[in-house]
Amino acid sequence: MDEQYYLFFTDKGYNVALEIYEHYLFFVEQLVNAGIDRKLAEKEACRMEHCISEDSFQKLKESIKNRAGG
């Protein structure tokens, strides 16, 4: 972070941030689709994104993709 509070990532840090953001967007979408209010879905997705392993996340994502037909 510089003196103007801009964040700068290493390549590895940027990739980790992208993975966490993908988790966040996925969980928001799934919660909203399940009928959860968007504001609550965003709050809860923010917690969920950090707790799930990458393996579990990929399996969950694939499971939902398969149920949707592709």
pLDDT in tens, 25-69: 999 999 999 999 999 999 999 999 989 999 999 999 999 999 887
Mean pLDDT, to the nearest integer, of 6-17?
92
CATH number at residue 62: 1.10.60
Q: Does 49 reside within a domain?
A: yes
Is 1 a member of any domain? Answer: no
CB 58 within 8 A of CB 24: no
- Asked if residue 45 lies in contact with residue 31, where contact means CB atoms within 8 angstroms, the answer is yes
In a domain, 6, yes or no: no
- How many domains are contained in the chain? 1
Return the pLDDT at 19.
92
CB contact at 8 A, 25 and 16: no
Mean pLDDT of 1-23: 91
| pLDDT in the model for residue 11 | 95
Helix (H, G, I), strand (E, B) or coil at 26: helix
Check residue 2 and give its pLDDT: 86
Q: Is residue 18 pLDDT above 90, yes or no? A: yes
CA atoms of 39 and 34, how far apart (whole Å):
14
